[in-house]
């Protein structure tokens, strides 16, 4: 089931706004993300760089972890914006984290905002074979 246009627009605007809070002194590559929980709440995050590059955290995970801290457990959609003005896809680690919080009965929509508009994908399109624990 597709999300309402207002939800998409609201998420994109939230991701663009939070992108301005990005801490990216080394790359100057600012990214903002906004996740929509299945209960309607929106959580935002930006990328946070570190002089020890391996400690850098992506915007998508920051938003997802903020959601989890507030008790959210299922993501309906995520919007991602970057300072490049071009669509930026989530990295593999972020895709796997998003898969952890994707609703079992639905898919998770991924909106990539750019100067040319918004591209829409499902997480299944971006991560067709997500890792899951085998439950016995």
Catalytic residues, by residue number, are: 60
Count of Cβ atoms closer than 10 Å to residue 38 Cβ: 17
- Alpha carbon distance 133, 96 (integer Å): 12
Give the chain's count of helices (H) and strands (E).
Answer: 4, 5
C-alpha radius of gyration, the chain, whole number: 14
């Amino acid at each position: 089931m597709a999300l309402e246009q207002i939800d998409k627009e609201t998420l994109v605007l939230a991701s663009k706004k939070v992108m301005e809070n990005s801490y990216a002194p080394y790359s100057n590559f600012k990214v903002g993300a906004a996740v929509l929980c299945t209960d309607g709440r929106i959580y935002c995050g930006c990328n946070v760089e570190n002089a020890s590059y391996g400690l850098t955290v992506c915007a998508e995970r920051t938003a997802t972890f903020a959601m989890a801290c507030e008790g959210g457990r299922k993501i309906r959609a995520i919007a991602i914006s970057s300072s490049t003005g071009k669509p930026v896809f989530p990295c593999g680690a972020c895709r796997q984290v998003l898969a952890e919080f994707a609703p079992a009965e639905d898919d998770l929509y991924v909106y990539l905002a750019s100067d040319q508009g918004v591209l829409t994908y499902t997480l299944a399109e971006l991560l067709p074979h997500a890792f899951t624990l085998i439950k016995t």
